[in-house]
Amino acid sequence: MPRRVVLTGIGLVTPLGIGTEESWQALVAGKSGIAPITHFDHTQFATHFAGEVKNFDVTRWISSRDARNIDRFIQYAVAAAGLAIEDSGLKIEGEFAERVGCYVGAGLGGVTSIEAACSTMAQKGPRHGISPFFVPMIIVNLAPGQISIRFGAKGPNFSHVSACSTGAHAIGEAMRAVERGDADAMICGGTEATVSPLGVGGFNSMRALSTRNEAPEQASRPFDRDRDGFVIAEGAGIVVIEELEHAKSRGAKIYAELTGYAANADAHHITAPAPEGEGAQRCMKLALKDAKLAPADIGYINAHGTSTKMNDTNETLAIKKVFGDAARKVMVSSTKSMTGHMLGAAGGVETGICALVLARGIVPPTINYTTPDPECDLDYVPNTAREVRVAHVLTNSYGFGGTNACLVLSAWRE
């Protein structure tokens, strides 16, 4: 019998704010975190805006000296982990430290450090232009590695890398680790820092990004007829999950229970989803089966909802196929309309959001939904949050390579 797993800590570092409360209050108020790019000169790029993390003071978690040798995606991960651990009240010490693991991934890793190293090497040559910290700055598993070192978690420690499904996969696999007894608590989620020349330029070359440069805050508009691409964003979403009895024994506050998880593949195309979201359909069905729930039991879906023509129509079709008549009743929103698409961090952030939906009885909206797309005709909670209690939520994450992850969270009941 698998052990039950609950979520006890949330750490969010997003374009909407540093910390859970700042991000959550902006979400329920329907605010956008999208603004002109400040990390680099964007004038020669087709897209001039992104979801950057603002007012980030890394020295709250990492010394300024150490921070010079730690890429931004790792800095965000350490910060979000610190926030999540503090929120959970978990004490990682003594023999218990061996029962605390860390699964944190990223989609691309240290892109900004790669860019900087290439530039320096071109100027100074390989003997003097490459830092001895270069490799530890760019590899994805140094996100959980640095978290482990700084907070003393000695249990299972590695990264899942699956493009935009990364954060959800990390949490789902951490859930499995706790269920089978490999750990009693896990620090898990995703991080990303690819608002950079290569990141923006690469997605521009694919014509995947919005170019609504005259109105950045209105650029991310999932399910709206006038959407023209996604908005790249950065940050981290980390949660603390625990075995139920352990959480209860220490009097932890419980946001939600993790009741279902599934992962699969489209086996179709490197970037395009399978027609009618066929892989997404199967993944949602598997997650519901794992949670022992019927589609009608789900009150809210946090959609992948990227604001691209292909994703939004296929995800809508997939929901209709899986939910049948219940598709017209379930609330569906894309918080990417406010955060932008945080790539490998998205699933971690959105899992935290779903836990807050269950705990606080508020469903965030899909903002910038002004012109309905006839092909996207579900209840997307347009523009205004709703105060409503739901018992079960589903969060979808789909990534390049046809990789899919779905998580089900349920309201905590004794």
Structure tokens that stand for 8 in this block = 């006890």
CB distance 97 to 153 below 8 Å:
yes
Structure tokens that stand for 66 in this block = 């150490």
Name the helix (H) or strand (E) containing 357.
helix 346-360
Among residues 164, 188, 283, 406, which one is catalytic?
A: 164
Pairing of β 386-387 and β 362-363: antiparallel
Burial of residue 47, with CB atoms counted within 10 A of its CB: 0-12 exposed, 13-18 middle, 19 or more buried: buried
Is 164 annotated as catalytic?
yes
Is 341 annotated as catalytic?
yes
User: What is residue 245's DSSP assignment?
Assistant: H
Q: How far apart are CA 326 and CA 371, in angstroms?
A: 24
Among residues 341, 354, 376, 406, which one is catalytic?
A: 341
Among residues 304, 354, 392, 406, which one is catalytic?
A: 304
Residue-wise DSSP of 65-119: HHHTTS-HHHHHHHHHHHHHHHHHT----GGGGGGEEEEEEESS--HHHHHHHHH
Name the helix (H) or strand (E) containing 63.
none
Amino acid code (one letter) for 329: K
Residues classed as catalytic: 164, 304, 341
